[in-house]
A and B are shown apart, each in its own frame.
Chain A
Amino acid sequence: MSGPTSSALPRRSELLNYRPRLADRIGEPGLRALSALAGVLAVALILWIAETVFNDAGPAITKYGLGFIGRQVWNPDANGGVGSFGALDFIYGTLVSSLIAMVIATPLAVAIALYLTELAPRVVRRPVAILVELLAAIPSVILGLWGILVLGPFLGNRLEPFLHRILGWIPLFGGIPSPYGMLTAALVLTIMALPIITAVAREVFASTPAELKEGAWALGATRWEMVRMVVLPAGRAGVVGAVILGLGRALGEAIAVTQVIGNTPQIQASLFAPAGTLAAQIASEYQSANPGLGQASLIFLAAILLVISLLVNVIARLYVRRVSVR
């Protein structure tokens, strides 16, 4: 009577001799190894980039060492054509333009994120969120083109003379108005960082525990009081992470900045004056850098930029991650 059953089940001897099909014997470890290799590549790529960049900066590193950071000179014609180089002007320009952008973008982004999470009617919420995100999709070269031909002239001919007239006694607004300089670059960077900060801040605010918000409502708080006492304190760490992420984006932007900042290595108090940043300098000299010390110094700038943005990004990611874990 046990006939049918025994024919449906494999016999014991068959089980012991079971070997997976050839495809499985190759495919299983194959996919595992291939995908692991790809994973290793992701990590290795960062090290590879750092190694290559520092290696190519070699001649400048041996010549100047860390003192490169503090040297305030960029003259390819000095020393009979060998050139004399330093990074201080560009580090200053990078930090100041990005910081100004953050000062303008942060309150705006927080306000937009609050509008999208707490205030906007359901119908406009998604469309507005998408439009703000599309701002991040505009290629930087187009934003730079717009900066050269629209924003720059507007600033140089209208806004800066106006600021100069009423606030000229402050050194920041003391210089001669010009279409291309620190302010124009900072505003372009603001536009680029804004959608990034907004997107992260929106997620942070949206994850505020509902019972805390309901508690505030129940106590009779107005919407703003609820935001001030519940949403903002709960989201503070996340917003800080979002701002650092936006900062990372602004620090590394090369094209749009090189188009509007004037590419002049100098440190000036006036926001109207042209300046230079690490990334913009690399982009503006890509063709003219002569092989040798000039090129190595340019790549040294890239190495410094890499270190700064790696630091900023690591801090931002750890921050955002800690917040989201909590």
Chain B
Amino acid sequence: MQGAAPAHRNPLAPAPGARRRRLINRAMEGVATVAAALAVAVLLLVVISVLIKGLPAINLDFLTKNPAPFGQRGGGIANSIVGSAILIGLASAMSVPVAVLIAIFTSEFAGRRTAGAIRFALDILNGVPTIVTGVFVFGLIVYGARQSGWAGGIALAVIELPIVARSAQEVLELVPRSLREAGLALGLRRWRVVLRIVLPTAAGGLITGAVLGVARVAGETAPLLFTSSIFSNFGLTTNPAQAMPNIPVTIFGLSESPSPSDHAAAWAAALVLIAFVLLLSIVARSFHERSRSRLRG
């Protein structure tokens, strides 16, 4: 091959077509960069829209007062903030302990096949549309009775469970085998190894997983439509036996209204929600990396 090259060609010169190949390479690099910039731009566009349109309507009254009676101006979303907090609290209280137990089972007790099957089931559960989860809890609890904070909390718990369980599994599997073996070699029982060694070591990772789960369900609307959206009273409710007003359903209701003042309130409520969710996500994510790299050593 080399001998066949024409004698007059400089052997160190670029191969024929190099220019074209370089241009194509440049173009493709440009396409990839633009795509990444586009995705970031969309995020900023949404966040900035919410900021610009929501900020003017945010004030102390908006955060601390209940909605004004129909037809009157003013009022706020205090009842929705309290309702959301209670719903999320109920959901987390139900789902996080179960999720950690599932993770303990798959990483400490179950065989490989069983653990794989449960992991698969959790992934599938995570893929169930949240509106279907709402219909499920509706059929289970609400149908024949009425909507309630309990029903809403259970619906959110079903959604939070697989998220927290999957992240807990990953964290527990990062706990070094040698730590467990050291405990067992000292004569500790398995359950003591789990409670005294594995869980404390993984605590940081478990908490970030739970926080990510909270961030995810805080914005869920679909499951609450069927379980906690029709209110008998629009005031402050702290009793989960009643349907509880909450931020996502409030935004949904206001967004469907034709009135511009409702839209302004919807943007402001959206700002409260997005600030909460993004803050949790960012905090959890930065802790996530740290606790993992520490476990990996």
> Is the C-beta of A204 less than 8 angstroms from some C-beta in chain B?
no
**A53, B132: Cβ atoms closer than 8 Å:** yes
**Residues in A whose Cβ lies below 8 Å from that of B24:** 222, 224
* Residue among A39, A120, A225, A254 making CB contact with B105, cutoff 8 Å: A39
Nearest Cβ distance between residue A166 and chain B, in whole angstroms? 22
**A137, B278: Cβ atoms closer than 8 Å:** yes
Q: How far is the CA of A144 from the CA of B49 in the complex (A)?
A: 13
> B87-135: which have CB < 8 Å to A?
98-99, 101-102, 104-106, 108-110, 114, 117-118, 120-125, 127-133, 135
**Residues in B whose Cβ lies below 8 Å from that of A38:** 98-99, 101-102, 105
Q: How far is the CA of A149 from the CA of B262 in the complex (A)?
A: 12
> What DSSP secondary structure best describes chain B's contact surface?
helix
**B191, A27: Cβ atoms closer than 8 Å:** yes
Of A65-73, A77-85, A206-214, A282-290, the one with at least 4 CB within 8 A of chain B = A282-290
Nearest Cβ distance between residue B248 and chain A, in whole angstroms? 5
**A36, B105: Cβ atoms closer than 8 Å:** yes
**B39, A254: Cβ atoms closer than 8 Å:** no
**B131, A131: Cβ atoms closer than 8 Å:** no
**Residues in B whose Cβ lies below 8 Å from that of A146:** 46, 49-50
Q: How far is the CA of A32 from the CA of B190 in the complex (A)?
A: 9
**Residues in A whose Cβ lies below 8 Å from that of B40:** 128, 131-132
Q: How far is the CA of A269 from the CA of B123 in the complex (A)?
A: 35
Per the CB 8 Å criterion, the residue count for chain B at the interface is 92
> What DSSP secondary structure best describes chain A's contact surface?
helix
**B46, A143: Cβ atoms closer than 8 Å:** yes
Q: How far is the CA of A252 from the CA of B220 in the complex (A)?
A: 13
> A104-151: which have CB < 8 Å to B?
107-108, 111-112, 114-116, 118-120, 128, 130-135, 137-146, 148-150
**B229, A30: Cβ atoms closer than 8 Å:** no
What residue in chain A is nearest B126 (Cβ atoms)? A313
**Residues in B whose Cβ lies below 8 Å from that of A220:** 15
Q: How far is the CA of A131 from the CA of B42 in the complex (A)?
A: 10
> Is the C-beta of B184 less than 8 angstroms from some C-beta in chain A?
no
What residue in chain A is nearest B266 (Cβ atoms)? A145
> Is the C-beta of B209 less than 8 angstroms from some C-beta in chain A?
no
Nearest Cβ distance between residue B77 and chain A, in whole angstroms? 14
Nearest Cβ distance between residue A239 and chain B, in whole angstroms? 14
> Is the C-beta of A255 less than 8 angstroms from some C-beta in chain B?
yes
B228-266 to A contact mask, C-beta < 8 Å, 1/0 = 011000000000000000001001100110000001001
Nearest Cβ distance between residue A81 and chain B, in whole angstroms? 21
**B36, A138: Cβ atoms closer than 8 Å:** no
> A267-297: which have CB < 8 Å to B?
279, 282-283, 286-287
**Residues in A whose Cβ lies below 8 Å from that of B53:** 149
Question: Which residue of A142, A220, A255, A310 has the most chain B CB atoms within 10 A of its CB atom?
Answer: A142
Q: How far is the CA of A94 from the CA of B101 in the complex (A)?
A: 36
**B117, A43: Cβ atoms closer than 8 Å:** yes
A174-216 to B contact mask, C-beta < 8 Å, 1/0 = 0000000000000000010011001000000000000000000
Q: How far is the CA of A24 from the CA of B194 in the complex (A)?
A: 13
* Residue among A41, A43, A130, A142 making CB contact with B46, cutoff 8 Å: A142
**A111, B36: Cβ atoms closer than 8 Å:** yes
Q: List 27 A-B contacts (CB under 8 A).
A: A27-B189, A32-B109, A32-B191, A35-B104, A36-B110, A38-B99, A38-B102, A41-B98, A41-B102, A45-B161, A46-B125, A52-B136, A119-B29, A134-B278, A137-B281, A138-B46, A138-B274, A140-B222, A141-B252, A142-B50, A143-B46, A222-B24, A254-B222, A279-B129, A283-B225, A287-B229, A313-B124
Q: Which residues of A contact B (CB under 8 A)?
A: 20, 24, 27-28, 30-32, 34-39, 41-43, 45-46, 48-49, 52-53, 55-56, 107-108, 111-112, 114-116, 118-120, 128, 130-135, 137-146, 148-150, 191, 194-195, 198, 220, 222-225, 227, 248, 251-255, 259, 279, 282-283, 286-287, 299, 302, 305-306, 309-310, 312-314, 316-317, 321
Q: Which residues of B contact A (CB under 8 A)?
A: 15, 21-22, 24-25, 28-29, 31-36, 38-40, 42-43, 46-47, 49-50, 53, 98-99, 101-102, 104-106, 108-110, 114, 117-118, 120-125, 127-133, 135-136, 138-140, 143, 158, 161-162, 165, 189-192, 194-195, 215-216, 218-222, 225-226, 229-230, 248, 251-252, 255-256, 263, 266-267, 270, 273-274, 277-278, 281-282, 285
